[in-house]
Amino acid sequence: MIEASSGAEIPNADDAAPLQSSDLHPLAEELVAIAARLRELSEDAQPGSPGMKAASGGTPRSRHRYLWIARQAYALRRKRAAIFGNPELFGEPAWDILLDLYIAHVEGKPVSVSSACIGSAAPATTGLRWLGVLADEGFVVRESDAEDQRRVLVRLTPAGVTAMERFFDAVGAEP
């Protein structure tokens, strides 16, 4: 026996009984299974792999870049409105809603209809009208809040997420 620095005794290979080939076969099978599982996990973790894309529609790097673009676009729109003094002058409620919902999608946050209307930077009735248009186009969907049945949530559909990410790819800005 050999004593480890922790005080535990480790069997010395010289003291152990020799392994028979019949002992090695089950160990080899187990090692092959472990290696195969590690390979699967490694492939799933690669950017662009189906496992990674299924989570949100892109690689972690692209999702980070898309989120940065969405936040910048939304912040610039608010700054522009503040500087010019009239938020309705450059009104694009549908775009503001899509940006807000994309940011929430990536962050995994629910968005209520009333919050989406506020995010549109337009009067509530205008925000509601644009939510309806976006729903008709298949970019957003409304659904009841499972935790509070009085509240209605809105989120991007897979088609909405794809359209936003195609736009972000087209503009190609890097943080």
The domain that holds 163 is classified in CATH as: 1.10.10.10
DSSP state of 112: B
Please report the pLDDT score of residue 104 as a whole number.
94
| Model confidence at 47: pLDDT above 70 | no
Query: Which residue shows structure tokens 């092959």?
Result: 32
Please report the pLDDT score of residue 82 as a whole number.
83
Number of domain units in the chain: 2
Query: What mean pLDDT do residues 33-50 have?
Result: 48
Q: Which residues contact 131 (CB under 8 A, 6 or more apart)?
A: 97, 113, 116, 117, 140, 142, 154
Instruction: For residue 42, give Cα distances in angstroms to 45, 50, 55.
Output: 5, 12, 16
> What is the domain range of residue 165?
57-171
Please report the pLDDT score of residue 152 as a whole number.
94
Do 102 and 155 lie in one domain? The reply is: yes
| Model confidence at 53: pLDDT above 50 | no
Do 125 and 77 lie in one domain? The reply is: yes
Pick from 48-52, 62-66, 164-168: least confident: 48-52
Do 25 and 67 lie in one domain? The reply is: no
Do 23 and 66 lie in one domain? The reply is: no
pLDDT digits (tens, 9 = 90+) for 131-175: 999 999 999 999 998 988 899 999 999 999 999 999 888 887 555
Work out the mean pLDDT of the chain and round it to a whole number.
75
Q: Could you tell me if 162 and 139 are in contact, meaning their C-beta atoms sit under 8 angstroms apart?
A: no
Query: What mean pLDDT do residues 6-26 have?
Result: 55
